[in-house]
A and B are shown apart, each in its own frame.
Chain A
C-alpha cells in the first residue's frame, strides 16, 4: 500500500491519501479510497518510541496546538500539548488526525465523492468509532511507526483510545482515557437525537443536500450545539459563571430577547459553531458515538484477544461534575480491567466544570498526565 502525502496550505495541514484501498466499514459498506488530514508536533526519535496519538472529541479537529486556520484561534488542547506542556513536544512526537467523517480535511460528508464533483452529503456511509480507529491505524502505519507509546483522548477521543486497546493492542503501550465510557448511555443518545432533529427539521437541511445551493442549516446546527453545550457544563459551573445575571440591560425585557447572560452565551456558542462545523458531519459523528457499545463485550475482548494485550497500561480519568460521562461509567472499565489483573490507574478529579473539564484548566489533570507519560516513558527508555 502506497500512501501519498501532501500539504494543504489553506488548511495548514498534512493530508494522507489512501487511494488504492477499500476500507471495509463496520456497517458493511466499503469506502473506496479516503484521506485523512493530520498535524504532527515535535520530533520522532530515531528508535520511533516516542509517538503519541491524540484523538479529538466530537467537534474537535487535528489542530491540537498552534494556530487553527479554520477558527483563527489556538488549537483545542494547546494548554496540554506543546513544548514543556504536560504532553511535552520536546520529548514526544504528537500526531492528531481529523476523524473519518469529520469536516476539517478528512474524508467525510462534506468532501467530494470519489471521481465526481458532488459532495457525499447524506450518501456518506455510516462510520463508527471502530472505523475511525482503523483509518488512524493505517495512517500510523504509513508514517512507519510500528508502536505508539500512547493513545490519549477525552470524550469521543476516549472512545477511540479504548477502541485502540481492543483492536490494536500490539501497536500501543498505554492509553489515557478521559471522561469516557464503555457505551454511549440512553441519556446521551437522547441528547444527540434532539440535536440531530434540530438539524434535520431545519428546512435548509434538505436531506443533507444543502451544499447544492451553497446554504447551511444554521438554525438547526446552532440549536444542536446549544443543547450539546449545556450537557458539557454543570449546574454549579453555570451558576458560578452566569447566575441569573442580565446581558447588557438592567431590567428584564418581558420578551424573548437574550435577557440573561446564559442565553447570550449559548447563542454565541451556537453561532460560532456554525461557522466552523458541517451539519452533516455532526449527524454522522454523533451517530458514531451512539453506536459505541462495549458494555457486554469489553471484558471478553480484552481477556480472549488473539492480539496480546497484557502489556497495556491504562490511565482512566473522570470528573466529579461530569454528568454526561459520569464517574460510574469510568469505574466500570476499571472494574473489568482489575478483574483481569491488568495494569490500570484510575483518578476521579474533583471539579465543578463538568464534562468539558478535560479541555479546561485542571492542574491535577496536567500533573497526572505529565507524570504518567514521563515515568512510563522512562521505564521503556531504560
Chain B
C-alpha cells in the first residue's frame, strides 16, 4: 500500500466507527479530506487543527472550520466534552507527550479515535534483529535522525497505557501490511506481530455512581443541581 492509499483506507475505517450527526474534531486535519468525507457521509459537524500553514489555508479556503495551530499547545482551549469524537490519525507517535495528548483527547471528546503504525509488526522486528539498524518501512519511512516519529510504540504498549489510564477500548481494527482487516480484540494470538496499522475507538471507563446511604430520603432533592 502506498502512503495515499493507506490514508484513504485509514479514513474509511475511521468512518465506520462514527455515528450520524455528530460533532467531530480532526487533529492534523490536513486540507480537510477526512472532514469532507465525514460531512458528506455522516452529516458530521467538523472542526480541525492543522500545524502546517499551507494545508490549514487550503482547508479554510475549502470552507472548513480549521485552526492553524499545534495540538500539543492548543487543545487546552477547548472545553470538556466539546466534541462527540476527537480523531488523531497517524500522529500519536509524533507527539512530544503522547500520554498527555491521549488524556486531552478524552477530556474534550466523549470518544477518541486513534490510529497508529504498529512498531511491533514482524517486518520491523526482523529488520532490527537482522540488520541491527533502526527500521525504515512503508508506514515509517524516515531515517532515525530525520523523523517526525519520536515515540515508537507497539499495540501491546498502547493497550498497557490505556489500561493504566482507565481508558476503555470500545472497538479496535487491525490491518495487515497487505491491507487485510481484522478485529484486534478477537484475535489475540500474534496480533502484535501481524498488525501493520491499528485503529482504536476509545472512551473513559464509566464508573457506577456511588450511592450514599442516608436517613434523609430527600437528600438528592435538596441539593442544587448546577447544569
Which of A334, A347, A372, A376 has the most chain B CB atoms closer than 10 A to its own CB? Answer: A347
Within 8 A of B (CB), among A294-337: 313, 315, 331, 334-335
Contact A375–B62 (Cβ < 8 Å): yes
**B67 touches A (CB below 8 Å):** yes
Q: Is the interface of B mostly helix, strand, loop or mixed?
A: mixed
Contact B57–A364 (Cβ < 8 Å): yes
Contact B68–A347 (Cβ < 8 Å): yes
Q: Could you say which of B74-82, B93-101, B183-191 contacts chain A?
A: B74-82
Q: Could you say which of A36-44, A284-292, A338-346 contacts chain B?
A: A338-346
A374 vs B66: C-alpha distance when bound (angstroms): 16
**Bitwise interface map of A from 216 to 248 toward B, beta carbon under 8 Å scored 1, else 0:** 000000000000000000000000000000000
Contact A371–B62 (Cβ < 8 Å): yes
Contact A375–B57 (Cβ < 8 Å): no
The number of chain B residues touching the other chain, given as a range, is: 20 to 34
Q: Which residues of A contact B8 (CB under 8 A)?
A: none
Contact A343–B65 (Cβ < 8 Å): yes
Q: Which residues of A contact B82 (CB under 8 A)?
A: 341
**A26 touches B (CB below 8 Å):** no
**Bitwise interface map of B from 47 to 90 toward A, beta carbon under 8 Å scored 1, else 0:** 10000011011001111111111000000011100100000000
Q: Which residues of A contact B77 (CB under 8 A)?
A: 334-335, 338-339
Q: Quote the shortest CB–CB distance from A286 to chain B (angstroms).
A: 31
**A74 touches B (CB below 8 Å):** no
Contact A346–B61 (Cβ < 8 Å): no
Contact A341–B79 (Cβ < 8 Å): yes
**A350 touches B (CB below 8 Å):** yes
Q: Which residues of A contact B47 (CB under 8 A)?
A: 343
Count the A-B residue pairs with Cβ separation under 8 angstroms: how many? 63
If A346-B68, A347-B68, A364-B57 touch, whether A339 touches B63 (CB-CB below 8 Å) is no
Contact A339–B67 (Cβ < 8 Å): no
Contact B60–A315 (Cβ < 8 Å): yes
A202 vs B53: C-alpha distance when bound (angstroms): 46
Contact B79–A345 (Cβ < 8 Å): no
A19 vs B167: C-alpha distance when bound (angstroms): 66
Q: Quote the shortest CB–CB distance from B33 to chain A (angstroms).
A: 15
Q: Which residues of A contact B63 (CB under 8 A)?
A: 371-372, 374-376, 378-379
If A347-B53, A347-B56 touch, whether A372 touches B79 (CB-CB below 8 Å) is no
If A334-B67, A344-B67, A347-B68 touch, whether A339 touches B60 (CB-CB below 8 Å) is no
Q: How many residues on the A side are at the interface (Cβ–Cβ under 8 A)?
A: 28
Contact A372–B60 (Cβ < 8 Å): yes
Q: Quote the shortest CB–CB distance from A132 to chain B (angstroms).
A: 28
**Bitwise interface map of A from 365 to 376 toward B, beta carbon under 8 Å scored 1, else 0:** 001101110111
A173 vs B94: C-alpha distance when bound (angstroms): 38
Q: Quote the shortest CB–CB distance from A119 to chain B (angstroms).
A: 45
Within 8 A of B (CB), among A351-382: 364, 367-368, 370-372, 374-376, 378-379
A343 vs B25: C-alpha distance when bound (angstroms): 11
Q: Which residues of B contact A364 (CB under 8 A)?
A: 53-54, 57
Q: Quote the shortest CB–CB distance from A304 to chain B (angstroms).
A: 14
Instruction: Find B66's partner among A340, A345, A349 (CB 8 Å cutoff).
Output: A345
Residue of B whose beta carbon sits closest to that of A341: B82
Within 8 A of A (CB), among B27-57: 47, 53-54, 56-57
Contact A344–B65 (Cβ < 8 Å): yes
Q: Quote the shortest CB–CB distance from B180 to chain A (angstroms).
A: 38
Residue of A whose beta carbon sits closest to that of B48: A345
Instruction: Find A338's partner among B23, B57, B67 (CB 8 Å cutoff).
Output: B67
If A341-B79, A347-B53 touch, whether A368 touches B60 (CB-CB below 8 Å) is yes
The residues of A with any CB-CB pair to B shorter than 8 Å are: 313, 315, 331, 334-335, 338-341, 343-350, 364, 367-368, 370-372, 374-376, 378-379
The residues of B with any CB-CB pair to A shorter than 8 Å are: 23, 47, 53-54, 56-57, 60-69, 77-79, 82
Can you list 5 A-B pairs with a CB-CB distance of less than 8 A?
A313-B65, A338-B67, A371-B63, A372-B61, A375-B63
